[in-house]
Amino acid sequence: MTDFAMQAATTREAPVADRAQALKRFALSDKTFYWLTRVSAVSVLLLLGGIIISLTIGAWPSIQHFGLSFLTTQRWAPQIEPAPILGGLGPIYGTLVTSVIAMIIAVPIGIGIAIFLTELCPSWLRRPFGIAIELLAGIPSIIYGMWGFFVLAPFLADYFQPLLIATFEGVPVLGAIFGGPPSYLSLFNASVVLAIMILPFITAISRDVFMTVPPVLKESAYGIGCTTWEVVRSVVIPYTRVGVIGGVMLALGRALGETMAVTFIIGNSFRIQDSIFAPGTTISAAIASEFAESGGLHQSALFFLGLLLFVLTFFVLAAARLMLMRLERQKGT
């Protein structure tokens, strides 16, 4: 074989070898990426399982001692000898009531702000409003608690609560729910703080999903004479309802587990009262305020409360996910 033929053969073999090496590198990097993502996903499940196991182990003495009566007893007396009387009904009640009131306040306001930002707000104001919403989401919860205790609670107790008490006085059911006397530390005040804290989540997510509506749909609605309200009600909301519900449920999860801000302003009373202006407590606030001084069965009862909060949050998020899946199937049909 001549030198020219040997050089030509070598030239043809070189790209083939380079391609083979490149394919090996690609295969190695792809396999590495696959295992990294798989390990990350499995680590989340292991972490979740570890939390459940830890809570269950810590709560087990209380589960054995109190059983299901823990869920129906509101008395909380850890100092009684020889065995304390502990019940989780008060914190469970406070957690549900404050979260529901916070959602009633925050959802319509948050969605209304999102509609304003996407449909009505002048373009030069959208960025300042968006930055303000993001700043609200970034404020630490303890700052919300301090502001609620020193600023919001006095305002509500001196001006807003007396107005509601006078308005609903003598009305069946509502008269008891909005009964007096006004208080700086109450379920209602904690609910208002919670509503302010979760408002940025609802607003930001709703705004983002509203912006995904194709302009041609809104332009078509405006073209046939629809008003802005009709466009929002008949086009924007139906098109983005899955995302809006997801944002609402994310905010609900935040409200259920909020700790420091609620602890500052709720009053930490385990007694259940008819009025939302009375002091109360939540699961998170009870754990935060008593865990450092607890021990034995008292500490186990706090672990039991933590396990109940975990289960409650899990079921709420699972129900939200099922609702979203159902809406997606209905949308597909």
Query: Which residue bears the tokens 């600023």?
Result: 151
Query: Which residue bears the tokens 């549900």?
Result: 96
- Helix (H) / strand (E) element for 79: namely none
CA dist 66 and 330 (Å) reads 44
Q: Could you give the 3-state DSSP secondary structure of residue 70?
A: helix
CB 88 within 8 A of CB 272: no
Residues listed for the chain = 333
Burial class (CB in 10 A: 0-12, 13-18, 19+), 270: buried
Q: What is the tens place of the pLDDT at every residue in 9-56?
A: 455 555 666 677 777 777 788 888 888 999 998 999 899 899 999 999
The domain of 15 spans 3-71
Same domain for 62 and 123? no
Which among 263, 102, 317 has a CA at the least distance from the CA of 198?
102
Same domain for 104 and 196? yes
Query: The domain that contains 270 carries what CATH number?
Result: 1.10.3720.10
CB 71 within 8 A of CB 92: yes
End-to-end CA distance of the chain: 71
CA dist 164 and 162 (Å) reads 6
Domain endpoint, select from 18, 46, 71: 71
Same domain for 145 and 289? yes
Same domain for 301 and 176? yes
- Helix (H) / strand (E) element for 234: namely none
Same domain for 51 and 168? no
Same domain for 17 and 163? no
Burial class (CB in 10 A: 0-12, 13-18, 19+), 291: middle
Report the percent of the chain where pLDDT is more than 70: 93
Same domain for 31 and 171? no
Our count of domains for the chain comes to 2
Same domain for 93 and 47? no
Q: What is the tens place of the pLDDT at every residue in 46-72?
A: 998 999 999 999 999 999 988 888 998
Same domain for 120 and 45? no
Same domain for 94 and 45? no
Domain endpoint, select from 41, 56, 71: 71
Domain endpoint, select from 21, 55, 71: 71
Q: What is the tens place of the pLDDT at every residue in 167-222?
A: 998 888 888 999 888 999 999 999 999 999 999 999 989 998 999 898 898 888 88
Which among 177, 155, 240 has a CA at the least distance from the CA of 205?
240
Same domain for 82 and 216? yes
Q: What is the mean pLDDT of residues 122-140?
A: 85
Tokens of 167: 């308005």
Partners of 267 in the beta sheet?
A: 280
Give the pTM. Answer: 0.86
Q: Calculate helix-pair angle for 89-115, 283-290, nearest 10 degrees.
A: 120
Same domain for 89 and 44? no
